[in-house]
Amino acid sequence: MPLLWLSAIILALATAGFFLGRARALASVNGSSEKLHSLPSYYGSNALMKSVFPAFGAMLLWMLVQPLFIDNRVAQLIPDSEIDEGSSIGLVMSEVRRTADGITNAINAGFIDDETLTAGQADLSDVTQRLKDAGQVVTNDITQPILNAAQEYRALSETSRSVMTIVVLLVALLGAGWGVIQSGRDFRARNVVEQGILGILIAAASVAILTTIGIIFSLIFNTIEFFSLYPAVEFFTLLEWAPSFSGRGGASSLGILPLLWGTIYISVVALLVAVPVGLFSAIYLSEYASPRVRGIAKPLLEILAGIPTIVYGLFALLTIGPLLVSVFGEDGAGWMGGGRSVMTAGIAMGIMLIPFVSSLSDDIINAVPQSLRDGSYGLGATQSETIKQVVLPAALPGIVGAILLAASRAIGETMIVVLGAGAAARLSLNPFEAMTTVTAKIVSQLTGDSDFASPEALVAFALGITLFVLTLCLNVFALYIVRKYREQYE
């Protein structure tokens, strides 16, 4: 039964529970609702909640556990001989899944029927051909163990599906029934319903924690797998990044240092663009500008923050790059080989960060108490002297925090460097050379790759965890500084 229908039936059961519970509660007091503890609809809601939430919870849990369980069972069917040199059980399992899906689709489309697939007798090349005719993506030739495993996989999935349907419907029915039976004049329905709602609210708030846990686990597990295939020491110390594309493992050198260098270099260029422009804008907007100028200039600058990064990426690739080449390229200074370079990406990223620096610094400068300024004016300082010697020193911790936040943004930025910085990992000082970054390599190692067994793909997770830790430290430190600073003047 499709999930959509199952959900619809659960909802129908729950709705029925709502009306029955409500009716039963009213009946218990002969229709005079003022004798009930709670409003009648709370009795209905009680039944509704008791059927919907356990049922959907069971469904979700089942769907999470089912693939694990089935994979485990099916994996036992695959003999070791089936796993090629350099391959892994994971790869074979994904082939089994593909085959199983292919068979199901082909049966639905009428290209094949169950009889031809009966274990042990099927003509394998014929089956492969038929699957291909049905437009299914399968490997060149399906072997007997894989076919058996695929059939077992299908059988298990089907059984599990039907059992799930029954269990979930039963849970929904029992829940609704329980809610209806509870409904009576002395049952404190409102308290129960409100407890339930509070539970939902807590669950929703915990999604944030679940996300963090998900991020950490998905990074850590894959990174551990990567380090079991590739020495961690080399990853952190090798000065070369050269993944091999031909085979698995072996010849690749995967050192993170060139990537980190590119990341930091581009971020520094970006900050060199963004910090002066952003900071001076913030100073002018908060100290000098009339309300009218501020009302126009601030939103204009903030438009820059609302523009998606892909736009900046394209701007770097197609506008800044050619412009730089025409000045510093072959015809000009001769420092630049192609349009993609540290400068190209850095400038685009700097433009992106201007509003980030300016609005954060603006807030922070505004938080400096007016009394400090007045004291300085009283001593005869001019406005610029006041800013330079009183306001900025007072705001400095906050501004440093803002710059750190901007730096963390720059390190984590992806689209601009993917399009503007180039693909070659280099340790070079020339800002007009193409370099690459951690984020750009995560994209290139993982894009369009569905097997996670080779170190060349898994390295992306190690890069990801480095990036995550780096930005997390910067953020925590920056937020700490900013918060500390705010408290100082509150």
Partner 1 sequence: MTDVSISTTPSAPDRAKRVSLISSDARTEKRKSAERRFRMYGIAGIATGIFFLIVLLVSIVSSGTGAFQQTFINASVYLDPSKLDKNGNRAIEDLRKVSTFGYTPLIQQAVFDKLEQNGIETPLQKRGDMKALISASAAAQVRDVVLANPDLIGETVDFRILASSRVDGYLKGRVQREDVARDKNIDAEHLDLVDALVPLGIIEKTFNIDFITGADASESRAEAAGIGVAMIGSFFMMLVVLVLSLPIGVAASIYLEEFAPKNRWTDLIEVNIANLAAVPSIVFGILGLAVFIQFMHLPQSAPLVGGLVLTLMTLPTIIISTRASLKAVPPSIRDAALGVGASKMQSVFHHVLPLAAPGILTGTIIGLAQALGETAPLLLIGMVGFIASNAPDGIASGLLDPNSAMPAQIYEWAKRADPAFYERAWGGIIILLGFLISMNTLAVILRRRFERRW
Out of 314, 367, 392, 424, which residue is the one contacting partner 1 (CB under 8 A)? 314
For residue 460, state whether it binds partner 1 (rule: CB under 8 A): yes
For residue 454, state whether it binds partner 1 (rule: CB under 8 A): no
Contact set for partner 1, span 32-51 (CB under 8 A): none
Near partner 1 by CB under 8 A, which window of 148-156, 159-167, 256-264, 298-306?
298-306
Nearest to 168 by CA among 266, 277, 55: 55
Three-class SS of residue 230? coil
- The angle, 0 to 180 degrees and rounded to 10, between the axes of the packed helices 124-133 and 144-182 is 60
Contact set for partner 1, span 91-120 (CB under 8 A): 97
User: Which residue type sits at 167?
Assistant: V
- Under 8 Å between Cβ of 438 and 259: yes
**φ/ψ (deg, to 5) at 61:** -60, -45
Query: How far apart, in whole angstroms, are the C-alpha atoms of residue 223 and residue 108?
Result: 40
For residue 20, state whether it binds partner 1 (rule: CB under 8 A): no
Closer to partner 1 by CB, 47 or 70: give it: 70
Near partner 1 by CB under 8 A, which window of 140-148, 250-258, 279-287, 326-334?
279-287
Out of 81, 303, 371, 429, which residue is the one contacting partner 1 (CB under 8 A)? 303
Contact set for partner 1, span 362-401 (CB under 8 A): 379-385, 387-389
Out of 139, 159, 211, 488, which residue is the one contacting partner 1 (CB under 8 A)? 211
| Residue with tokens 């994996």, as numbered in its chain | 75
Closer to partner 1 by CB, 88 or 428: give it: 88
Out of 288, 326, 369, 488, which residue is the one contacting partner 1 (CB under 8 A)? 288
The site that binds partner 1 (CB under 8 A) totals a number of residues, namely 97
**Hey, CA dihedral for 437, 442, 448, 453, is it positive or negative?**
positive
Near partner 1 by CB under 8 A, which window of 15-23, 79-87, 158-166, 413-421?
413-421
For residue 200, state whether it binds partner 1 (rule: CB under 8 A): yes
Query: How far apart, in whole angstroms, are the C-alpha atoms of residue 293 and residue 286?
Result: 11
User: Which residue type sits at 416?
Assistant: I
For residue 224, state whether it binds partner 1 (rule: CB under 8 A): no
Closer to partner 1 by CB, 133 or 385: give it: 385
Nearest to 357 by CA among 399, 306, 312: 399
How many CB atoms are closer than 10 A to CB 205? 9
Closer to partner 1 by CB, 20 or 271: give it: 271
- Under 8 Å between Cβ of 478 and 357: no
Q: How far is the CB of 438 from partner 1 (least distance, A)?
A: 9
- Under 8 Å between Cβ of 288 and 427: no
Near partner 1 by CB under 8 A, which window of 51-59, 119-127, 164-172, 300-308?
300-308
Site map 324..363 versus partner 1, x via CB under 8 A: ---------------------------x--xx--x-----
**Planar angle of CA 62, 67, 73, nearest 5 degrees:** 115
Query: How far apart, in whole angstroms, are the C-alpha atoms of residue 207 and residue 200?
Result: 11
| Structural tokens at position 330 | 């072959």
For residue 290, state whether it binds partner 1 (rule: CB under 8 A): no
Near partner 1 by CB under 8 A, which window of 29-37, 240-248, 364-372, 443-451?
443-451
Out of 56, 187, 265, 315, which residue is the one contacting partner 1 (CB under 8 A)? 315
| Residue with tokens 């039964």, as numbered in its chain | 1
For residue 466, state whether it binds partner 1 (rule: CB under 8 A): no
Contact set for partner 1, span 241-260 (CB under 8 A): none
Residue 246 bridge partners (DSSP): none
Near partner 1 by CB under 8 A, which window of 163-171, 195-203, 229-237, 336-344?
195-203
**Planar angle of CA 238, 90, 150, nearest 5 degrees:** 160
Three-class SS of residue 253? strand
Out of 91, 471, 477, 486, which residue is the one contacting partner 1 (CB under 8 A)? 471
| Structural tokens at position 237 | 């110390």
- Residue 56 CA neighbour count, 13 Å, CB half: 15
Out of 270, 394, 464, 481, which residue is the one contacting partner 1 (CB under 8 A)? 464
Closer to partner 1 by CB, 114 or 133: give it: 133
